[in-house]
Amino acid sequence: MKRAAKGHALQVVTANALRSGSVVFRTIRGDWSLDIADAAVAETAEAGETLLAAATQDVAADVVVETYLVDVERLEGGPRPLLLRERIRALRGPTITENRTLPPASVEAGLLKAAC
């Protein structure tokens, strides 16, 4: 998996839900949310590994697949991934208008602007 520079402090754990394939983030409650704003943020590399290990138990439990750490920065609205790839994943959809009949993902949340 692609990651940003090593040694970056702030990280969240992401995965895809097994059934739907949706992008999800590990929360402080120990479950998963579609919204990165709910993600638990690990502040050290060790905390990140601990968070990932706990989250990865849900792979064995057949809840999610492909867990990994994502480097983020903290903004007012919540964590924002450093990599564009992860910012687009966090949008829950592409940065373009799909099918021209659907609004772009998450325009409301203002995330689109943040991603581009």
Partner 1 sequence: MYRYDEFDRRFVTGRVDQFRDQVLRRLSGELTEDQFKPLRLMNGVYLQLHAYMLRIAIPYGGLNAARLRKLADIAMKYDRGFGHFTTRQNLQFHWIELKDVPQILSDLAEVEMHAIQTSGNCIRNVSADHFAGAAVDEIADPRPYAEILRQWSSLHPEFTYLPRKFKLAVSGSAHDRAAIQVHDIGLQIVRNDAGETGFTVYVGGGLGRSPFIGKKVRDFLPEAELLSYCEAILRVYNMFGRRDNKYKARIKILIHEAGVDEIRRQVEEEYEQIRGSRLTLPKAELDRIAAYFAAPTFEALPDHSQAHEQALAGDRAYADWVERNVSPHRQPGHAIATIALKAVGEVPGDISADQMRVVADIAERYGHDEVRVSHEQNLVLPHLRKDDLPQVFAILQQAGLASPHAGLITDIISCPGLDYCSLANARSIPVAQRITERFADLKRQRDIGDLKLKISGCINACGHHHVGHIGILGVDRKGEEFYQITLGGSGDENCSIGGIVGKGFSSDEIVDAVEKIVDTYIALRVSPSESFLEAFRRVGDAPFREALYAEAA
Binding-residue pattern over the window 26 to 45 for partner 1, x denoting contact by CB under 8 A: --------------------
Determine if 66 is a binding residue for partner 1 (CB under 8 A).
yes
Helix-, strand-, coil-residue percentages of the chain, each rounded to 5: 25, 30, 45
Count the site residues for partner 1 by CB under 8 A. 30
Residue of 108, 32, 102 lying closest to 63 (CA atoms): 32
Specify the residue for token string 């949340």: 109
Which of 28, 53, 84, 107 binds partner 1 (CB under 8 A)? It is 84
Binding positions for partner 1, 3-22, rule CB under 8 A: 4, 16, 18-22
H or E element: which one contains 113? Answer: helix 111-115
Q: Which residues bind partner 1 (CB under 8 A)?
A: 4, 16, 18-23, 59-62, 65-66, 82-85, 88-89, 92-96, 98-102
